[in-house]
Structure 1
Amino acid sequence: MKWYADRPARFTRQLIADLLAAAWVATWIWVATTAHDWVLELRAPGDGLVNAGGDIRDVFTNAAAKAKGVPFVGEDLAGALGNGTKAGETLTSAGNAQISVVQDSAFWLAAAIVVIPVLFLLITWLPLRLQYARKAADTARLRDKPDLLALRALTSLSSRQLSKFDGDPAVAWRTGDTDVIDELARRQLASVGVKA
């Protein structure tokens, strides 16, 4: 495949279009990363719940351990304080669940922010680039076959371009006029930005 034209004007346009496509992708990746980071800031309450739950669990665990040493009621007191430990674990679990939801939301939001514009680019820009690359490569392979290029020019050049020839270029091609054939071939190569 031939990705870029040989002619400077078309090459420049293609290069600018490709750089704009790369900038488009880079911009949306930056936007997605920024949005991801902003959404992750919403995990602060979840972190607070995890820390608070851990602190409550540790306090009640220590209190239950010390309560076991109290004569007569130590085991009952330790059991009651054990419920406080479970409450701390519940808070920790709730915080972890919130953190997980926020992280998943941040990931999927960032993925959507990148995928949708990149998909749009791939649907619009990429087919045009691939079409050009195939057409230019196929045309460039015919450089040493001016008759075929001239025939292609007769079918693809505009009526205005064909009318600029002295006489009928189709008749000149059929009769083997090498000057007209070479000019038609050159124009066909030029139409895809390939040098003769």
Structure 2
Amino acid sequence: MRLPAGLYAQRRGRMAGQLLADLSMVVWVVLWWFVGRFTQRTIDAIADPLRTSGERAAQLTEQARQAAEQAGRVPGIGSELRKPFDGAVDSLSGVTTAISQQISSIEHAGLLLGWLVFAIPVVILLVIWLPLRVRFVRRARAAQVFIDAQADLDLFALRAMVGQPMHVIAKISDDPVAAWRRGDRDVIRALANAELRRTGLRPPVIDRRDRPA
């Protein structure tokens, strides 16, 4: 499978590290999504007794309403008989409404807390991971433009002499500037390779027949 150009390093070691980091990010997101869902469901479960009470209150309300209707049909005294039942209906309706509001509050709290449990650790890691990936992609694609445009690695050799640590330069040449000025292709290629390593790119393959004698 060919990976999108510029998204991953061309060097296998660094590419493997990037793929592992990206996969770890995906696993992290999925893991905390499940933790957030578990948190939400756990809080929702607190409302289960209230849901049972609400159902029973609704049943009692309906029974009281039916009793009030039956009492109201008694000739002469029906209006008086149904008053206690109407009062019970009003009271039970208030209880049912209060229970529904409490259930709704618990559900909203569970949803909010579930999202917070999911979002906080994901955002923290995303703030660390995403800038590194974006910086690499921008640097790699910019470097790839120059590599694709010319086989000459002088530009990256110059960047290496400016940006690479001195001990890295010393391992390549005792006098890299003089070697670069006289066109020492082995030194230039070694310097460029050290610089390209930071972007995860490989130096272009140059046919030995094209190298100056």
Give the alignment's TM-score, normalised by structure 2. 0.86
Match of residue 151, structure 1, among 151, 158, 165: 158
**2:198 maps to which residue?**
191
Instruction: Calculate percent identity across the aligned residue pairs.
Output: 31
Shift of 1:46: 2.1
Correspondence list, 1:49-68, <5 A: 49-68=53-72
The offset of 1:157, in angstroms, is 1.7
Q: Are 1:18 and 2:25 counterparts?
A: no
Output the amino acid matched with 2:90: K
Q: How many residues are matched?
A: 196
- The CA distance in 2 between the partners of 1:146 and 1:134, in whole Å, is 19
Q: 1:48 aligns with which of 34, 39, 52?
A: 52
Q: Which moved more, 1:175-184 or 1:42-51?
A: 175-184
Extract unaligned runs of 5+ from structure 1.
none
- Residue 183 of structure 2 corresponds to 176
Amino acid in structure 1 at the alignment position of 2:135: Q
- TM-score, structure 1 as length reference: 0.93
Q: Secondary structure at the match of 2:10?
A: coil
1:5 and 2:9 matched: yes
Q: Which residue of structure 1 lines up, in the alignment, with residue 100 of structure 2? A: 96
Note the aligned Cα RMSD (angstroms). 1.6
Q: Is contact 2:173–2:187 with CA below 8 Å preserved after alignment? A: no
- Please say if residues 48 and 95 of structure 1, whose CA atoms lie closer than 8 Å, have aligned partners that are also in contact: no
* SS of structure 2 residue aligned to 1:72: coil
- For structure 2, the residue ranges without an aligned partner over 5 or more in a row are 204-213
Conserved? CA contact 1:56–1:84, under 8 Å: no
Q: Which amino acid aligns with 1:177?
A: D
Contact 1:60 1:82 in 2 (8 A): yes
CA–CA distance in 2 between the matches of 1:2 and 1:50?
59
1:82 pairs, out of 74, 82, 86, with: 86
Letter in 1 for 2:161: L
Alignment check: 8 A CA contact 1:57 1:88 kept: yes
